[in-house]
Amino acid sequence: MRFINSAQAAITLQGRFSVVLAGGNTPKRVYELLASERYRSRTGWASVHIFFGDERCVPPDHPDSNYRMIKESLLSHVPIPAVHVHRMRGEDDPALSARLYEEGLRAFFEDAAWPRFDLILLGMGEDGHTASLFPGTAALREKKAWVVANWVEQLKAFRLTLTVPAICYAAHIVFLVTGEAKARRLHEVLNGPRNPERLPAQLIQPVDGLLEWLVDRAAARETLFSPDALIPPGLY
């Protein structure tokens, strides 16, 4: 699995592994596999640092919380130090939470110009959004901040999210996309005209890193992919 291989390589090279996790049903299955008896012991969890790509503005025990989902599917089943889980505080004032999360990232990456995560996992919504970078929102045009509170008009709510540059400076970015409902949008993102205001996932282009799309056959039905890019059933 990409997660395990990336973790082993980063820990060997630099003594720690920084990974950004995504919310959603498809990543959840990945987390359940990582927490399973088959895979759990293959990651040096004591050297893993967990970050979040985005968060809903709800308490951590709320059913809609990305943190809650990730805790229940992964974190509560692996021996990761609590201080290595860097949660976005969705229950607090959104602007303050975004600022504090960015300050924490800047401390972790020792005031680098941009964060250099070892791995970022991303999903893609049926509207082409990724993280909480929704179509037509102000966060799509952010060039300086690492983290913002993004007002999403169609949801009538703020979302906390990493910004495009904060994502694009990662060493390795992996999109996980499943389901026939996303097939048309996936085709547009990868093969259609460039229109990132409508299709925010098009903005994710690594500055100096690897970008992969792992999709199932249903999502890929309108897009040509090599067999290696298709997720085997039950293993996404």
pLDDT tens string 56-82: 999 999 999 999 999 999 999 999 999
Q: What are phi and psi of 96, to 5 degrees?
A: -65, -45
Can you name the residues that pair with 174 across neighbouring β-strands?
A: 121, 212
How far is residue 6 CA from its own chain's centroid?
15
Checking if the pLDDT of 47 tops 90, the result is yes
Identify the band that residue 236 occupies on the pLDDT scale cut at 50, 70 and 90.
very low
Distance (Å, whole) CA 65 – CA 45: 23
Distance (Å, whole) CA 137 – CA 30: 29
Q: What is the pTM of this model?
A: 0.94
Nearest to 187 by CA among 222, 213, 162: 222
Convert the pLDDT of each residue in 210-220 to its tens digit: 999 999 999 99
Checking if the pLDDT of 151 tops 70, the result is yes
pLDDT value of position 235: 41
Identify the band that residue 229 occupies on the pLDDT scale cut at 50, 70 and 90.
low
Half-sphere exposure of 220 (CA within 13 A, CB side): 16
Output the average pLDDT for the chain: 94
Q: Are residues 51 and 117 in contact, defined by beta-carbon separation less than 8 angstroms? A: yes
Convert the pLDDT of each residue in 97-127 to its tens digit: 999 999 999 999 998 999 999 999 999 999 9
